[in-house]
Structure 1
Amino acid sequence: MSLYKLISPKSLADLVRKETSRRVVPVDSTWYMPNTKKDGKQEFLDVERIANAVYFDIDGVKDHSSPYPHMLPDLATFNAGMSQLGITSSDILVVYDRIGNFSAPRCAWTLAVFGHQPVYLLNNFIAYKQQGLPLDTSKRTAVSPFQPSTYESNVDLTSQEVVSYEDMLKLVESGELALKYNVFDARALPRFTGEASEPRPGLPSGHVPGTQPLPYSAVLSEGCFEDSPEKMQKRLQDYLESANCTLDSRKPTIAMCGTGVSGVIIKTALELAGVKDVKLYDGSWTEWAMRADPKYLAKGRK
């Protein structure tokens, strides 16, 4: 079960209009792959945003001791980041990104991992714009319209939600990864097979032995998640059958990707489809390719 819920553009507009006891705070978390040379934070400040939105920087609120991008922070770092944005524990948070559903699931998941409730994922910003709902197009100089707060969460679900490199390595070395888990990689298929380069210079492509491809684009329809479990199940099943991949409901599941962003997209899709016990390998392929013995960098489909 996902830690957060989907909300449609219309339902968001209704929520903003009807909610009188708590703030509804849109959270822009737009992040682009490094090879695009685009800056989500600068677009937030210069281009447009939902009114009263804050910008949550997944490359700012992270584990600063890790050599890998935007890894989950510790609780103190998370609380400090939320305080700087002026978020309070009573706020209703609605996360979006300007791409559609790309980095927003990662942000919504992070907020919920550290106990914020409720958290919604807007499904999605492109549809919001197409429906002519209100936008703020003025230039901003700050990532939040609010004064700093004192945000204090004592919840950390990291151990329940995340699989470590050490856990993955033990399973691969023993040959038990595919026996004990469904493991899906959200990267584009040519990166999974090793036929295309990784967007990060010097990083080899390929995959962890025992994983299966589940490109994040396969679980979205025009950037949106399906709006019912049945539709989400069908979308997943159609892809898995076409790709000759399997999902064993008796096994727990691990999702991964390049750096833990699009892995949350497929994690969300699986959970929306009713798949239970889905964890994220946060370091994903970047950590694996940098740390694992080259003999564990697989090529091809399997």
Structure 2
Amino acid sequence: MLLFKLISPEAFVKLVASEKARRVIPVDATWYLPSWKLNNKEDFLTKPRIPNSIFFDIDAISDKESPYPHMFPTKQVFDDAMSNLGVQKDDILVVYDRVGNFSSPRCAWTLGVMGHPKVYLLNNFKKYEELKYPLDSSEVEAFSPYPKSHYESSKSFQDKEVVDYKEMFQLVKSGELANKFNAFDARTLGRFEGTEPEPRSDIPSGHIPGTQPLPYGYLLDPETKTYPEDGEAMRSTVEKALKDLHCTLDPRKPTICSCGTGVSGVIIKTALELAGVSNVRLYDGSWTEWALKSGPEWIAENRN
């Protein structure tokens, strides 16, 4: 289920101006691929941001016991992070990133899975900038302008939203993933097909047997990196992508999305849910965990 709503820059500005009872807090969830050699934390502190933003560190707000990057956080890690950022349960959180609907869907989804009541995904920051809406250009020294709070998440949808390695391996081994599920991979075709290298040199390219390619770029506007604004347009975009990629989607079957490390998988998960697809989950460990744990006999390079 979609645990957050899209909000346009225009609607976001109106929300900030009109909301009197609750705080509207912009959440910068920028995360960069290591190969880009950019610093998301430094960018938050030194570059223009939406006024009164906090910085949600996807790498840090994660499962500390896992050897894999930014795996879904425990309740304690999440609550501590939200408390340190000064977030309160009745705050309206509006998530964005500097790339344009790249890592922000992952953050918005995490907030929703952990039960935060009101979460929006800004569709998106680049468009906000182009429309000349307010930006804070001052350099700051902290990741939040708010005093520390006591945040306590009261419910979690993790069991309904996240697929772990054990379940994924059993689905692949039994053949159920290919036969009883729609399974999509958000990485590029080259990485999926094993013809392009992975960002990490210790991980081979290829894909999980039973998955189909659905690169996230097929589902966002190529110029603005935005999602279509209505469900019908999103459905048309998904249908065109599937046709162009020679892939299929059976709406009667549950769906699992994955990617490289669980970030861009949420881009396609969100797109499918906006298009009306139900029962969509994320394999959080995605290709990195799969390639490092399953062994070469469970790595495919063609679709058959």
- TM-score, normalized by length of structure 1? 0.99
Q: Which residue of 2 aligns with 1:251?
A: 253
2-structure distance, mates of 1:108, 1:41: 18
Partner of 1:232: 234
Structure 1 residue 273 and structure 2 residue 275: aligned?
yes
Contact preservation (8 Å) 2:115, 2:156? yes
Alignment partner of 1:60: what SS?
coil
- Cα distance per residue 1:223-268 (max 9 Å; x no partner): 1001111100100100111111000011000000000000000000
Q: 2:74 corresponds to which letter in structure 1?
A: D
User: Residues 29-178 of structure 1 correspond to what in structure 2 (within 5 A)?
Assistant: 29-178=29-178
Who is 1:182 aligned against? 182
Structure 1: how far apart are the matches of 2:219 and 2:244? 13
Which amino acid is the alignment partner of residue 225 of structure 1?
A: Y
Contact 1:49-1:137 within 8 A present in 2 as well: yes
- SS state at 1:22 partner: coil
In structure 1, the gaps of 5 or more residues are: none
Q: Give 1:293 deviation, angstroms.
A: 2.5
Residue identity matched to 1:173: K
Q: CA deviation at 1:300?
A: 2.6
Quick one: which amino acid aligns to residue 173 of structure 2? E
* Deviation sequence 1:31-55 (CA, Å, 0-9, x none): 0001111111110101111000000
Please identify, of 179-188 and 149-158, the stretch whose mean Cα deviation from structure 2 is larger. 149-158
What is the match of residue 9 of structure 1? 9
Q: Secondary structure at the match of 1:240?
A: helix
- How far off is 1:117 after superposition? 1.4
CA distance in 2, matches of 1:241, 1:179: 20
What TM-score does the superposition give when structure 2 sets the normalisation length? 0.98
Q: RMSD in angstroms over aligned alpha carbons?
A: 0.7
Q: How much has 1:182 moved relative to structure 2?
A: 0.1
Q: Does 1:223 align with 2:225?
A: yes
Aligned length: 302
Distance in 2, Cα, partners of 1:201 & 1:140 = 35
Give a deviation string over 1:37-92, Cα, whole Å, max 9, x none: 11111101011110000000000110010011000111111000000000000100
Once residues 296 and 60 of structure 1 are traced to their aligned partners in structure 2, the CA distance between those partners, rounded to angstroms, is 30
Counterpart code for 1:83: S
SS at match of 2:291: helix
Stretches (4+) displaced over 6 A: none
State the alpha-carbon separation in 2 of the partners of residues 168 and 110 from structure 1: 20
Contact kept, 8 Å, 2:192 with 2:206, in 1: the verdict is: yes
CA distances 1:119-140 after superposition (whole Å, capped 9, x unpaired): 0000000000000000001001
Residue type of the partner of 1:99? Answer: V
Distance 1:242 1:115 in 2: 36
Structure 1 residue 301: Cα displacement:
4.1
1:264 is aligned to: 266
